Amino acid sequence: MKKTFSYRKYGKRLCSVALGLVAVGVVGSAIAQADESKNDSSVKSAVTEKTEQKDPESSGVDEKQVNNNKSDKFKDLEKTKIEIEKIKKDAPKVKNPNPEPVDPKQPDFSPELKTTENTVVTGEDKAGSNELQFKTKAPTNTSTINEIAPLTTVHVYDYSSSYAGKVKDSLRLSKKIIEANKNPNSRHILQLYPDNYSQTSYHASTKKVLNDVKGISSTLLTKQEALEIIDNLLKINSLTDNAPVYQNYGAYFRGLAEALGTHRYLDESVDVVVPFEDIVEKITKPSDTISVIQYTDGWLDQGKPEEMDKSFAEWAKRRAKTFMSVVNRNQVTENDTNSMRSIEQMKELGHPNIYDMTGKEKSVVDAEVVKQFMETATVKVQTSKGADQTAQVAIGGDGIKITKALLKGGKVNKELPIKDGKVDFSEKLPDGDYTIVYSFTGEGTATGSVSLDGKEVAKKSDSIKNKGGAVTADFRTADGKEIPGQSDITIIEAGKEIGSEWKATEVKKELTVDGETYVLTGEPKESSGKVTKDTVKLHYLYEKKPADKKVYSLTFKVLNALTNEQIDQDILVAKGFSGDDYDIKAPTVDGFEVTLKEGEEKGKFAENDLLLTYLAHEKGEEVKAIFVNEKGEEIKNPEVISKTGELVGKDWKFDRDVETEITVKDTTYVLKAVPEELEGKVSSDKQTLKFVYKEKEKPVEPKKTEEKPVEPKKTEEKAAEPKKEEPKKLPKTSAVKDVLNG
């Protein structure tokens, strides 16, 4: 049976019941019955009184008085100290959940950078002229040739910077292959790629606007269309040529794309570059006979090695009737890469037909490549006669401008096209004697040459010399005013050799003069070039930059709510201009509850720095009650009075029922000692209230005396049996429990 003390709010103690229990102990049947009746009456009276009690709040009883009455219940019991378990804690640290503050970006002052036109004062040119004579005669042999059955030839050109000096020869060789294909139903596809660095090298952009250096592809072309496009490509000088048409590779590849005109393969629905092989498969039929010829050089084998596009190579081996690569490792320009890297890469991929033209004469290469490609790519149909010889005319030179070139002979009498001051002309000519008369101006060496089918047959060189003009630069504001401390500079003095390279040194994007900043807004369209007879002045324009806006800061600090001492240090969490929005997250402190005291976490910067103040309320440790025997062994589960995490300083009170008796298995314990304090405040240390129980003494049962019954005499009447005496009854334990609960 469990007996408990109750901590409910009662206004009276049931003292009369306790006094009534003292009378229990008189031996005797009548007295015991009387006592039992009396005790039953007392218990009933006490219980009735308890039932009729009112709550102190409703009855007007002072709560302090009630608490005193509760503690009176334990006044005769021993008292235990509240056990304190010190919890070691590190010094609190403030955690900032906000990102690292950065200075706001100053208002963008990025005036458009415009180009300025150089001022050029023209000098006098020296002039000269000469002529070239040659004779053409088509082959007269009647050996049979192969006429190609309908064939689609894919021409793949390496347009990397290392191959720039060789690509025009490759284009001319392609023309020979195209011209050698006599079948009018044959078709051609021209594909240009920018490098061999990755597995997406042989891919083409299908967007109309080419915004980057990317590969390009034509559509399916007739013989005439292919030859016209190649002629267009031959007119475009690369960036490493003496007279480049474009100044950067982005513009260069856009120019190449424009050379394909309306025959460029486009697909605006595709946002990625498309493999060359996919384009070929899309614009041809599975039944078409396809051959592939590629032109490239030796490739880089150090630094960032170049590599073969594996998917293209595997497709070409599988799909093409003829897959041929022409490798030119001859040293033509200082940008060449002439290693064995490309050939090694091709062999690793099982390339079936590699032609290394290194060290061979151009005319030999042309003949062998056409012969080898056509032998492997053609089907013998009939014999045919040889074609007219192709005349290749090149006239020009550094510092030289060709002003006129006239071709005369037989029925031909026409001016040759001049582009960028040079003649680069190729055409088949009937048999006959020819003369090219040309005029030129400038300073340097004018060289004219004629080759027939790749073999040089005529060459002339003439030297003329002019005095070079000076190249200078000035620095001005947009309205033409001088910038203090910035004098004109001389880039190259007058009198230097015509054709000498000049380049302006890079100027500062910003100039600081007397605490003011000037930003570059205009620079020369051309800041490098070659010395000519002309005097050139470059113009750099600057604009004054407005002063920076003031940056304001937002900082927070955290105070201990109990001591008002600062935890950690001030933390900078945001920066901004006046009027800028800010929205910050509150700091955290392990073991503390943080609340905002002063300031706003969301708002706008004004024209002053901001400080937010937070209060950190420490979270306390657990307060619990334990129930142990005199050996310190727990005989009942502990009870949590205040759980971990309640704020330090918060009141706690133990106001629950306490069992005065506890039976564990066969052992009954009675309450011996209670905590001296039943209420307090949460702290940073653990607090334990201890209720101690002792074993209850077991009552000793009195020995029973046996009386021998007197047997009645037979002659006498049987005596009446004595009345059996009722044992004494102690007060009911329920009544005791009610008293204790009072």
Fold identical between 144-384 and 467-542? no
- Give 121's pLDDT tier (boundaries 50, 70, 90): confident
Is it true that domain 467-542 has CATH number 3.10.20? Answer: yes
pLDDT score for 98: 95
Contact yes or no for 170/243 (Cβ under 8 A): no
Distance between CA 321 and CA 644 in Å, rounded?
Answer: 83
Which of left, alpha, beta for 60 (phi over 0: left; psi -120 to 50: alpha)? left
Lowest mean pLDDT among 44-48, 77-81, 216-220: 44-48
Contact yes or no for 146/374 (Cβ under 8 A): yes
- Give 465's pLDDT tier (boundaries 50, 70, 90): confident
SS (H, E, C) 80-140: ECCEEECCCCCCCCEECCCCCCCCCCCCCCCCCCEEECCEEECCCCCEEEEEEEEEECCCC
Q: Which residues, at least 6 apart from 546, have a Cβ–Cβ distance to it below 8 Å?
A: 107, 109
* Residue extents of the structural domains in the chain: 3-85+621-695, 94-106+549-616, 127-131+401-463, 144-384, 467-542
pLDDT score for 548: 83
Looking at the chain, the whole-number percentage of residues with pLDDT higher than 70 is 82
Contact yes or no for 738/3 (Cβ under 8 A): no
β-strand partners of 613: 557, 598
Q: In terms of pLDDT, which residue wins out, 415 or 56?
A: 415
pLDDT score for 639: 94
- What pLDDT, in 10s, does the model give residues 225-254? 999 999 999 999 998 888 898 989 999 999
Distance between CA 234 and CA 517 in Å, rounded?
Answer: 48
Mean pLDDT score, 616-641: 93
CATH topology for 94-106+549-616?
A: Ubiquitin-like (UB roll) (3.10.20)
Report the amino acid identity of residue 59: S
- The model carries a pTM of 0.36
- What pLDDT, in 10s, does the model give residues 668-682? 999 999 999 999 999
pLDDT score for 110: 80
Token reading at 72:
């009176």
Pairing of strands 203-204, 471-477: unpaired
Which segments within 366-481 are labelled E, that is strand?
389-396, 400-409, 412-415, 423-429, 432-442, 444-452, 455-464, 471-477
β-strand partners of 487: none
Q: Above 70 in pLDDT, residue 712?
A: no
pLDDT score for 549: 87
pLDDT score for 291: 94
Distance between CA 613 and CA 98 in Å, rounded?
Answer: 16
* Cβ count near 335 (within 10 Å): 15
Average confidence score pLDDT of the chain: 82
- Give 43's pLDDT tier (boundaries 50, 70, 90): very low
pLDDT score for 8: 37
Contact yes or no for 368/361 (Cβ under 8 A): no
Looking at the chain, the whole-number percentage of residues with pLDDT higher than 90 is 49
Lowest mean pLDDT among 98-112, 572-586, 700-714: 700-714
Mean pLDDT score, 693-697: 91
Cα-based distances in Å from 342 to 295, 312, 434: 11, 14, 42
Mean pLDDT score, 506-535: 85
pLDDT score for 111: 84
Contact yes or no for 472/121 (Cβ under 8 A): no
Ranges 18-27, 62-71, 136-145, 390-399, most confident: 390-399
Q: In terms of pLDDT, which residue wins out, 358 or 410?
A: 358
Pairing of strands 322-327, 354-356: parallel
pLDDT score for 380: 54
DSSP state letters, 321-377: SEEEEEE-----STT--BSSHHHHHHHHTT-S-EEE-TT--HHHHHHHHHHHHHHHH
Q: Which CATH architecture has domain 144-384?
A: 3-Layer(aba) Sandwich (3.40)
pLDDT score for 25: 34
Lowest mean pLDDT among 94-103, 432-441, 519-528, 630-639: 519-528
DSSP percent split of the chain into helix, strand, coil, nearest 5: 20, 35, 45
Token reading at 64:
């302090």
β-strand partners of 619: 647
Mean pLDDT score, 463-470: 82
Q: Above 80 in pLDDT, residue 39?
A: no
pLDDT score for 243: 87
Distance between CA 640 and CA 643 in Å, rounded?
Answer: 6
